[in-house]
Amino acid sequence: MTYRILIAGFQHETNTFAPSKAEYENFVRGEGFPQMVRGVEMLELRNVNIPAGGFLIEAERLGYEVVPVIWAGASPSAHVTRETYDRITDEIIKAAANEAFDGIYLDLHGAMVAEHTDDGEGTLLARLRAVVGQDIPIVISLDLHANVTELMLNHADAMVAFRTYPHVDMADTGARAAKLLELRLRSGKLHCESLRLPFLIPINGMCTLMDPARSLYEQLEHLESEGLSLSFTPGFPAADFEECGPVIWGYGTDRQAIKAAVAVLYKKVVGEEDQWEVPFLLPDEAVLRAMTLAETAQRPIVIADTQDNPGAGGDSNTTGMLKALIKHGATNAAVGLLYDPAAVQSAIAAGVGSFIEITLGGQSGALGDSPLQGRFEVMHLSDGRCRFAGPMMNGMEVDVGPVACLKIGGVKVAVSSGKCQMLDRNLYRIAGIEPEQMSVLVNKSSVHFRADFAPIADQILVAKAPGPMTADPADIPWKRLREGIRLKPNGPSFHSPEYRA
């Protein structure tokens, strides 16, 4: 029998404390994701390292007939507007109501908050279930940063999440989703067991290139077997609602085996709570340490400007790290990408080789951030288009709009007209900067940059400069979390204003 599978994707990671909301046009452009596509154009995603690409390849191997609807993703930000959410989800619901199919696959993120719903994915799944009934299987793939909700667990037949951060296994996760769908189609309903963790985890502590995350996912894979799928999402600790936080879950044909495996993983995470904490450097500390290390290093010292990460809701325009580099006289240093369309236009008007007096960045509204007034040399101009060559999103065409390289003192700044996390070395190259030749690189990213930059880095530092993406979840002004959850590993417990009263 040939199964006919409806497929769609709708990806957004929502930081409810971020300054900018996600509009429809953000999804049209993609902003570091593939641009919005519909129908047969979705089949081109099979060559991109995203879950839908891996699902399409595995579905072809399994002999499925696919019914592609829409794929849309946008850079993390504050809430998805209601009009945008309804416009995209309505397309998926309409297709589910009008097409004949045997199953549904959705490429979702798992941490979407819209203006009218805290649970973007759960709301979509509930609407879908109301249209297709209980017998049509719905299988979804999720980002490692998903905040998994009870609504999602109740309405999906199976869910599977990334196991790497940086996310280099996105296509692999889509392939695992296809295999889970195959198991569901041939075995009937799958059992599910899940457990919520009692503390929030800082994003920088989730990196799977090092422990404790590395060993946790190794054990997860060891516990899996034929007919048993396991997932752990450390969560996205910037969405202020009750179900924000880490979850471990599993699906399979043997309920007791799933329950036992989930319990083992839960015990490991809780038992290693100390190890999930993260040390951060202040901007001056990070720059001075990087400059000292660079004196003898043969490769760049890379600093993560984690609190202005556009991949987590920042606008990529804070100046704290840039000011620290200038203050301490850093040389052969580069910062990227700094989002400032007006500065790029000033550079274009002046031309390469000119000097311009401008106010750069500092528009985040974050406490302690401010614009940088200075005289910059225009070193390079480009159209901002490139193809990612690193492990993440490998092969994806990217357009961040016109780009300028502006130099001040010994620092080059890659300034863009569109927001994109610095996760691929080619994002420096479009500004005429060869990252391997720099002494110090300041990347507006938290962890994803490690996939392409770790191989060229002598050392990597993490800095906490003023910005909208608060790196330590205990510093966030939470109002609506689950009562009693610890705000970070071994941190204080959350109590709602009503509870405190």
Residue position matching structure tokens 């528009």: 363
Mean pLDDT of 355-361: 97
**Average pLDDT of span 374-395:** 93
Give the bridge partners for 378, in sequence order: 406
Average pLDDT estimate for 344-364 = 96
Res. 501: pLDDT tops 60: no
Q: Inter-axis angle of helices 283-294 and 320-327, to 10 degrees? A: 50
How far from 225 is each of 206, 261, 391, 406, CA to CA, in Å? 25, 10, 27, 53
Residue 448 one-letter amino acid: H
CA distance 14 to 148: 13
pLDDT digit string, tens, across residues 108-146:
999 999 999 999 999 999 999 999 999 999 999 999 999
pLDDT value at 274 more than 70: yes
pLDDT given for residue 319 in this prediction: 97
Mean pLDDT calculated for residue range 72-80 = 94
| 182-188 long-range Cβ contacts below 8 angstroms, 24+ apart | 182/62, 183/158, 183/227, 183/229, 183/253, 184/103, 184/137, 184/139, 184/157, 184/158, 185/3, 185/102, 185/103, 185/137, 187/227, 187/253
Phi, psi angle pair for 35, to nearest 5°: -65, 155
Asked whether residue 153 carries a pLDDT value surpassing 50, the answer given is: yes
Residues 225-230, mean pLDDT to the nearest whole number? 93
Q: For the ranges 9-18, 24-33, 132-141, which has the lowest average pLDDT?
A: 24-33
Q: Is the pLDDT of residue 269 over 80?
A: yes
Summarize the confidence of residues 331-344 as an average pLDDT. 97
Measured CA angle at 383 (ends 379, 388), to 5 deg: 100
Per DSSP, the three-state class of 414 is strand
The Cα 272–Cα 270 span in angstroms is: 5
Q: What is the 3-state secondary structure (H, E, C) of 67-97?
A: EEEEEEECCCECCECHHHHHHHHHHHHHHHH
As a whole-number percent, the residues of the chain with pLDDT over 70 amount to 99
Between helix 120-132 and helix 82-98 the angle, nearest 10°, is 30
Contact 199, 489 (CB under 8 A): yes
In angstroms, rounded to a whole number, what is the distance separating the alpha carbons of residues 142 and 77? Answer: 18
pLDDT given for residue 500 in this prediction: 44
Per-residue pLDDT, averaged over 195-223, amounts to: 96
Beta bridge partners of 382: 403
% of the chain with per-residue pLDDT over 90: 88
Supply the pLDDT for residue 398: 87
pLDDT band at 32 (very low <50, low <70, confident <90, very high): confident
User: Which stretches of 133-231 are DSSP H helices?
Assistant: 150-155, 170-187, 213-223
Query: What would the two tokens of residue 69 be?
Result: 């609807």
Domain range annotation of the chain: 4-276, 283-469
β-pairing verdict for 247-252 and 228-233: antiparallel
What is the arithmetic mean of pLDDT over 454-467?
Answer: 96
What pLDDT is recorded for position 68?
97
Q: What is the pLDDT of residue 498?
A: 59
Helix (H), strand (E), coil (C) string for 8-43? EEEECCECCCCCCCECHHHHHHCECECCCEEHHHHH
CB 468 within 8 A of CB 361: no
Average pLDDT over residues 465-490: 94
Query: 37-46, 347-356, 360-369, 409-418: which range is least confident on average?
Result: 360-369
Average pLDDT over residues 43-58: 94
3-class secondary-structure state, position 160? strand
Distance CA 132, CA 102 (A): 10
When pLDDT is averaged across residues 146-170 and rounded to a whole number, the result is 97
Triad 302, 306, 312: Cα angle to 5°: 130
pLDDT at 499 over 70: no
Q: In sequence order, what are the beta bridge partners of 228?
A: 225, 252
Radius of gyration of the chain (CA): 22
User: What is the full DSSP assignment across 337-351?
Assistant: EEE-HHHHHHHHHH-
Global model pTM greater than 0.85: yes
The pLDDT of residue 468 is 85
Q: What is the DSSP letter of 194?
A: E
Q: Hey, CA dihedral for 143, 216, 247, 450, is it positive or negative?
A: negative
Average pLDDT (65-91) is 96
Confidence of residue 19 (pLDDT cuts 50, 70, 90): confident
User: Coil, strand, or helix at residue 393?
Assistant: coil
Q: Which amino acid is at 200?
A: L
